[in-house]
């Protein structure tokens, strides 16, 4: 087991490092080509399209890993149920967002770009990454992701040079997502049959309902961070959003560090929980300490270097992004490490109801106070607000998880 864990961790780490380097390179490539105003609009449109992924990713990654790893259902049945549900929810989300976008924007260019992003969402709906993670195989999805990123970077370097190339950019997002999905499909050994994908709306919404609590908690991160992105153009401008997104994108890269441990260790945590092994408490403590340490170290390094990053990689108009790095890197990254660690235990202990209730309260507080802070021209404090609420949520989770592990009531 330890040999397999080590091999998976090594491959995942190597793919992760290369992937994050590519992602880091694409940020200045895209932002410098588009300019600060259009870069802000680009991210605003992507965030709107991202709401099309909310239902598609309604906790189905965790659900797939959990159900396949537990062996309570046939793997092929779990795979087809999840993919069928995702496709139905993609159809519903896409139709809804197109109607809303047409009504609100009344702009053909914005509508076309959002439609292209929604097509890319279909690639994610068909992705079999959860199947490989449940089988303790992080190699295939890691390589698939990396190949997609390499393709995307290559196309960016060849074709995206100015703001007029924004349509190419959205088309390349489609190729990126579908290439990753195709690679996973080819290595799945026929576990998914396209002919068996069912467009049963009633059944799909039943699956969504049964997964409600887990899904709501799982989407808290996107919903939380989407609030400032959606509001900044209205309270400030697309230029401000463009600068804000530079710091936020690098923060997302830091968040990705924590995904290595969660995806690799999740099936093994399930095993220890099933055996009610006392080692699980030590694993929790070490994981929290490790994630916090990585967050502090990584955030500190990025903050120290951020002036050089902005000066060297970005056009001068993006220098205003410097003001957001302290709050993201020194404050939010370490807290997010603790939060991520507690959430992976919540998922594997099937504490979905607790997850959704705390997430709902968290989202409501942020949703109410973020517009107020922006109205008062306190944009940076909206980042601190997210940090404080996330820290409180993490402490609540940690206390309850520890008590349940000690009492073995899970």
Q: What is the pLDDT of residues 3-27, one digit of tens each?
A: 555 666 677 777 778 888 898 899 9
Same domain (yes/no): 123, 225: no
Distance CA 144, CA 394 (A): 32
Residues 355, 206: one domain?
A: no
Q: Is residue 19 one of the residues assigned to a domain?
A: yes
Rounded to whole angstroms, how far apart are CA atoms 400 and 346? 10
Q: Among 131, 159, 128, which Cα is nearest to 69's?
A: 131
> Is the same domain home to 178 and 274?
no
Q: How far apart are CA 150 and CA 23, in angstroms?
A: 9
pLDDT confidence band for 329 (50 / 70 / 90): very high
Are residue 240 and residue 159 in the same domain, yes or no?
Answer: no
Quick one: 262 and 189 in the same domain?
no
Q: Report pLDDT digits (tens) over 179-232.
A: 999 999 998 887 878 778 888 888 888 888 888 877 787 788 888 999 999 999
Distances (CA, A) of 239 to 31, 33, 308, 318, 380: 11, 14, 21, 9, 15
What does the pLDDT read at residue 233? 94
**pLDDT tens digits for 141-169?**
989 999 999 999 999 999 999 999 999 99
Q: Are residues 204 and 138 in the same domain?
A: yes
- For residues 196 and 252, membership in a common domain is answered with no
Domain count of the fold of the chain: 2
Tell me which of 191, 210, 229 is where a domain ends.
210
- Give 3: exposed, middle or buried? Use CB within 10 Å, 0-12, 13-18, 19+: exposed
Residues 160, 196 share a domain: yes
Task: Find the angle CA(145)-CA(147)-CA(150) to the nearest 5 degrees.
Answer: 110
For residue 41, name the pLDDT band (cuts at 50, 70, 90): very high
The residue out of 175, 210, 245 marking a domain boundary is: 210
Chain centre distance of CA 14? 20
Q: Among candidates 355, 337, 347, which has minimal Cα distance to 393?
A: 355
Q: If you ran DSSP here, which 8-state letter would residue 144 be given?
A: H
The string of DSSP letters for 89-130 reads HHHHHHHHHHHHHHHHH--HHHHHHHHHHHHHHHHHHT--HH
DSSP state of 327: I
Select from 181, 210, 239 the last residue of a domain.
Answer: 210
DSSP class of residue 196?
G
Judgement on whether residues 203 and 233 belong to the same structural domain of the protein: no
Task: Give a yes or no: residue 256 inside a domain.
Answer: yes
Q: Which domain holds residue 12?
A: 1-210
Looking at the structure, do residues 192 and 43 belong to the same domain, yes or no? yes
Beta-carbon contacts of 109 under 8 Å, excluding residues fewer than 6 positions away, are none
Q: Are residues 170 and 231 in the same domain?
A: no
The pLDDT tens digits of the residues spanning 245-287 come to 999 999 998 887 787 767 666 667 777 777 776 788 888 888 8
Q: Virtual CA dihedral for 68, 73, 77, 78, nearest 10 degrees?
A: -40
194 and 278 both lie in a single domain: no
Backbone φ, ψ for residue 198 (5° rounding) = -105, 130
Question: Would 410 be classed as within a structural domain?
Answer: no
What is the model's pTM? Answer: 0.87
């Amino acid at each position: 087991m330890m040999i397999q864990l080590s091999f998976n961790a090594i491959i995942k780490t190597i793919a992760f490092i290369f992937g994050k380097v590519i992602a880091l390179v694409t940020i200045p490539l895209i932002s410098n080509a588009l300019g600060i105003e259009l870069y802000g609009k680009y991210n605003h449109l992507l965030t709107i399209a991202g709401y099309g992924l909310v239902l598609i990713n309604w906790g189905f990654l965790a659900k797939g890993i959990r159900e396949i790893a537990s062996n309570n259902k046939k793997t092929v049945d779990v795979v087809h149920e999840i993919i069928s549900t995702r496709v139905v929810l993609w159809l519903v989300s896409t139709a809804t967002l197109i109607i809303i976008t047409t009504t609100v924007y009344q702009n053909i260019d914005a509508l076309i770009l959002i439609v292209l992003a929604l097509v890319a969402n279909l690639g994610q709906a068909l992705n079999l990454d959860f199947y490989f993670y449940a089988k303790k195989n992080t190699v295939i999805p890691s390589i698939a992701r990396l190949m997609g990123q390499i393709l995307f970077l290559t196309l960016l370097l060849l074709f995206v040079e100015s703001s007029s190339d924004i349509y190419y950019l959205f088309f390349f997002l489609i190729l990126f997502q579908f290439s990753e999905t195709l690679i996973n499909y080819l290595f799945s050994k026929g576990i998914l049959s396209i002919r068996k994908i069912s467009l049963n709306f009633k059944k799909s919404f039943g699956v969504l309902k049964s997964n409600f609590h887990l899904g709501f908690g799982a989407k808290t991160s996107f919903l939380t961070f989407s609030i400032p992105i959606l509001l900044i153009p209205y309270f400030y401008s697309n230029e401000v959003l463009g600068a804000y997104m530079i710091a936020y994108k690098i923060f997302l890269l830091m968040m990705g560090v924590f995904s290595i441990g969660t995806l690799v260790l999740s099936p093994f945590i399930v095993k220890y929980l099933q055996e009610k092994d006392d080692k699980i408490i030590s694993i929790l403590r070490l994981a929290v300490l490790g994630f916090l340490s990585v967050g502090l170290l990584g955030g500190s390094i990025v903050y120290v270097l951020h002036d050089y990053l902005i000066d060297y990689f970005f056009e001068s108009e993006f220098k205003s992004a410097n003001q957001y790095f302290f709050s993201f890197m020194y404050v939010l990254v370490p807290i997010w490490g603790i939060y991520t660690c507690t959430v992976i235990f919540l998922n594997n202990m099937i504490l979905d109801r607790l997850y959704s209730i705390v997430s709902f309260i968290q989202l409501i507080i942020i949703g109410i106070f973020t517009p107020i802070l922006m109205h008062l021209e306190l944009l940076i404090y909206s980042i601190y607000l997210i940090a404080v609420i996330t820290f409180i949520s993490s402490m609540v989770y940690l206390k309850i998880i520890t008590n349940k592990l000690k009492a073995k009531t899970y």
